[in-house]
Structure 1
């Protein structure tokens, strides 16, 4: 590490993060081919246009990743998560995806994802303390034409 400076920060410059991201993308493209990463969002709005539930994620390398799934407290219990997951999965199939993955440390969300056909494939205990983060996947079958 001679002539190198090690920096640890909780406030990185956006340009620095961009360098890391672009460099890793270039490496992965050369190693396994382009990811064809595309953002994907599913939004549910009320009568005045406010978002009351939503999914944020992306598709890449034939997989849908659901990073965030949120339902407003007054909208829970109506199977909105299942409705949004089905819409995201349908779009992922249109994009050529064959699988989907998601993670959670919420026991209620875990049950909802399992009801939607997601199966656990890994766990992290005490993440956060007192909970278990569960990673789930679902095979989407043949992509839509």
Structure 2
């Protein structure tokens, strides 16, 4: 019988085994993910990254993992511009949808304004907030589709 070990300090190699074996299983089950990193960076006058968007495309979807706008840059439409750039690139990669989640009421408003729609909620995550899951249909580009 296999042994189970709970740890708060897994090695990078241990985590790689989990990720690689799951990726191999998924590849056999539903086909290749064609996972590609995607980032849109915000740089200051000196070229230093001060915020932006990071995520990836896989299985025809853009997933925005992180989106941060510096406080002194908020309210100027940067979130919409970041999302538009990422969505355009995702469409060029042949993606048909985008999804994102947030527990920030301000971010939720920005995503809804950008055309995202709510498809799920997780109340009290974190306590006192609701984590909201949103999606948006994309029109894949004929020029970059694979």
TM-score by length of 1: 0.96
Corresponding residue number in structure 2 for 1:61: 59
Of 3, 6, 14, the residue aligned with 2:4 is 6
- d(CA) in 1 for partners of 2:140, 2:129: 35
C-alpha displacement of 1:143:
2.8
Corresponding residue number in structure 1 for 2:115: 117
Corresponding residue number in structure 2 for 1:29: 27
Of 80, 88, 91, the residue aligned with 1:90 is 88
- d(CA) in 2 for partners of 1:46, 1:38: 26
TM-score by length of 2: 0.95
- Matched residues, number: 143
Q: Verify: 1:79 aligned to 2:77, yes or no.
A: yes
Consecutive unaligned residues of structure 2, counting only runs of 5 or more, are none
Instruction: Write the deviation string for residues 80-100 of structure 1: whole angstroms up to 9, x where unpaired.
Output: 000000000000011000100
Instruction: Write the deviation string for residues 8-63 of structure 1: whole angstroms up to 9, x where unpaired.
Output: 11110100000000000100110010000000000011111122320010000000
SS of the counterpart of 1:128?
Answer: coil
- Contact 1:52–1:75 at 8 Å: present in 2 too? no
C-alpha displacement of 1:144:
4.0
- Contact 2:36–2:58 at 8 Å: present in 1 too? yes
- Contact 2:36–2:57 at 8 Å: present in 1 too? yes
SS of the counterpart of 1:41?
Answer: strand
- d(CA) in 2 for partners of 1:142, 1:40: 16
